[in-house]
Amino acid sequence: MTTSPYWNPRHETFSREETQALQVHKLRRLLRWTIDQVPWQAQRLKEAGVEPDSIQSLEDLRRIPFMTRDQWMEAQLADPPYGPFLAAPKEAAIRYHMTSGTTGRTPIRVLDDLKDWEWIAEAWCHGFWGFGIRPEDTVFFAFSYGTFVGFWGAHYCCEKIGCLVLPGGNMTTAARVRQIMDMEATVVCSTPTYALRMAQEAKSLGIDLAKGPVKRVILSGEPAGSIPATKQLIEEQWGAKAGDTAGMTELGTIMMFECEHQPGGAHIIENHFIEEVIDPDTDEPVPYGEMGERVVTSFGRGFIPILRYRTRDFVVKVPASRCSCGRGWDIYEGGIRGRVDDMKLVRGTNVYPRAIEAIVREFPEIDEFQIHLYTADGIRDEIEVLVEIPNQDVEREGLLARLDTQLREAHEGLRIDVKEVETGSLPRFELKAKRVKDDRIVIGGSGEKRES
């Protein structure tokens, strides 16, 4: 059985009917626990007329009210430091983590106990085992090991699997690259941005990563892990397979992973989560194949029950049959497609940073880039893409013109200036990259002032 390609063979090969029966059963159990332990949630559920035994199918899930990040932050501010969400006394907790602050001003603070922490690693195990990580692997974590949960759960997952773990916190990029080579790491975990950063550093050190020991790169923390051009670049530079994962501090762990068969998307870990996809404007569910917002219900973290949490992530769900791996778990095609909050409106055109990155990464000559928005003449939105091209032998004019054309064609003819900047002048990132610099003083064409 230890040769199984699945971490939990029975759950992972369930039929859709079996998976849904499991989810309904766990949902009732979660509701009982939540109503008993969390008065704030119990009140909301009572007002919505939701009782555990009234849940007969996943259709009934829709009667449960949504929970938003704003609600979480407001309730946390009103009842600091954790808000009214804890289902167990904080004396039972062994870990504290907080959000990285990508969205919103107030970080979300979470606690876990021993059992939840093991569960967090368990969810990661589905992903790592599914991507082919085994006890004989040596896994390097290019991760800062702070209060941002990041790869913490993955670290414990690797210990659980039996890998040799190399915790690469508090090291320079050069030291990390050298350790990966010296210790013959077979797996590297990092954000997509930092995987490229390490590849740049290796080049400057005269190290050819593609001829090195690394066979797999596990990506997380940014949507770029599922952008084909970015992934291809990482795979070429590392000479390794790159697999995407995605998680959230609010869940403590990952809820999707790419399996070894790499069907162009990531499987949803459906024995631990219910993932709905809805139209963010109407709140109605969208069918397979259509883009919508992820809404998550989590069965694992008992300390903070999560019911129908609006994630603001854009995804496209497709059936499990899209993949040949044998799992019965549905797939988010193309991973996380972006965030509702990421969208920028520039002279009436929607601009998504992920879409720009997908184009920029088609040009391997470009090392780093930044999307800069600013106000011209006090009234007009402008957008420019700043790029670094370190190789002096590259023919600039043609490359910049081709990039300009592709960006324009992908954005309804929107004028997007493309400019080369000095190599090394743009910021580099270890965790979540922030490549959008919005210096506008006026949003859109209506003269609406920025709030912050």
Query: Which positions lie near another protein, rule CB under 8 A?
Result: 8, 10-11, 18, 21-22, 25, 29, 33, 87-89, 91-92, 113-115, 117-119, 122, 271, 302-303
CB of 324 to another protein, least distance (A): 24
CB of 60 to another protein, least distance (A): 19
63 burial (CB, 10 Å; 0-12 / 13-18 / 19+) is middle
CB of 94 to another protein, least distance (A): 8
Angle at the Cα of 341 (from 338 to 344), degrees rounded to 5? 90
CA neighbours within 13 Å on the CB side: how many for 188? 34
**Residue closer to another protein (CB basis): 91 or 281:** 91
Question: Which tokens sit at 162?
Answer: 């039996």
Q: Give residue 374's Cα distance to chain centre.
A: 28
DSSP class per residue in 373-424 = EEEETTTEEEEEEEEE---TTS-HHHHHHHHHHHHHHHTTT---EEEE--TT
Question: Which tokens sit at 215?
Answer: 């066979």
CB of 118 to another protein, least distance (A): 5
Question: Which tokens sit at 83?
Answer: 């808000």
**Residue closer to another protein (CB basis): 22 or 183:** 22
CB of 230 to another protein, least distance (A): 34
CA neighbours within 13 Å on the CB side: how many for 361? 23
CB of 87 to another protein, least distance (A): 8
* Rounded-to-integer distance, Cα 212 and Cα 238, Å: 8
